[in-house]
Amino acid sequence: MQLRPMRSWIHHSRGKVLRQAVTGRRELGGLYEDMLTRQGFEGRDAYLYRRAEPTAWKHAEEGAANRTYDGQLVEPTDRTRPDGGPLRLFHHPALAVSVSRRGANMPFSVRNVDGDELYFVHEGTGTFYTEFGPIPYEPGDYILLPKGVTYRIRPSGPVNYFLVVESAEELGFADTGVLGRRAPFDPGLLYIPSPELDELGDGRDERGTWPVRLKIRDGYASLVYDADPIDVEGWSGDLFPFKLNIRDYRPVMSDRIHVMPSAYAVFATSTFMVGNFLPRPFETAPDAAVFPPYHRNVDYDEFTFFHGGTVLGMPIAPATMALVPQGLHHGLPAEVQAQVTGRLKPGDRIDTEVVFVDTTVPLTPTPEAEAAQRHAEQESGAPTAPVGDWM
């Protein structure tokens, strides 16, 4: 058993503070709780209790602003062209976040030799046809395609929307630690493909040959075959593509204290994690806070993608994205918190479905991402809180 490093137990308090952080905020008498963290939510932290709401700035310049994006404005070439591809929106040397909206069968196959690919299905149904066998997809699926695996996508219809996370480092499952082997999901629920030859003969070009589009050294090159490169009749080993649906993920919950986002990580590398905020009950203990404090995650950029549900009963456009650069304040506005807590009833639940990517290396938005940004929200910090910030 591998033990986690021992945490620091040297803590000091000065001035007016809560006896237990994140609980009993009604005792603050109008002060706002503000969390400053290192290493995401796993390292050292400090809780500051201030008079003014820390996200209520009057104006933020471009480099100091939290950002939201309208994902419906993103137009990858694969939406209208069978030979098109995904559109990169955010990236750093070891990570890229893209969107694919494939509207027709691929007349080619793909093999990424730069890294692993994780597809999250926001809209659409169909099949990822891989060397290991077909993987049917539906909304809520994560499909992990390891580096070097050949595949092509066969959608059932023209409306599809994938969030694509590409990792130069091998992408594995996040460490669930003391939760054990069967929580927050049972690995027996993974969908593992079985070999099945493609009788429809997809993947051919107009000449009747089978091209394979290689993603290599951050560029593309093609190999062309006279036979289908997806012709495997059997496989064995511990390296394979698979899928997991968010309905099979059971969030960690506590009735007495707000659980921080790192508890919801699903996949991870040494520099970033991918996770999800999913429906759950509100905390109901008398002194529990149903929202996280305002916070500054000084070592992580936080990217969020809104998949479904509402924002505490308020509608939000599907495929809304947000990016909070590391070190910038974010949190749900106090006015909205008061409105929500004022109408909460026993048994009420959060119905939100959000995918997040937290990364220690800052993300650079592409011009295509910036074209979809909602610029008006820079005038105040409150509206630009990431779509998962109430979780």
Residue 88: how many CB atoms within 10 A of its CB? 17
What's the CA gap between 165 and 253, in Å, rounded? 27
Q: Going edge to edge, which strands form the sheet with 294-297? A: 45-50, 32-37, 294-297
Active-site residue, 258 included: yes
Annotated binding residue 91: no
What's the CA gap between 272 and 97, in Å, rounded? 12
**Total number of residues shown for the chain:** 391
Annotated binding residue 295: yes
Contact partners, residue 231, CB within 8 Å, separation at least 6: 197
Catalytic residue among 11, 59, 258, 375: 258
Annotated binding residue 59: no
Question: In 149-279, where do the E strands start and end?
Answer: 150-155, 161-167, 172-173, 210-216, 219-225, 242-245, 265-268, 272-277
**β-pairing, 32-37 with 294-297?**
parallel
Do the beta carbons of residue 68 and residue 42 sit within 8 Å?
Answer: no
**β-pairing, 116-123 with 87-92?**
unpaired
Residues annotated within a binding site for homogentisate: 330
Residues annotated within a binding site for Fe cation: 295, 301, 330
Residues annotated within a binding site: 295, 301, 330
Catalytic residues: 258
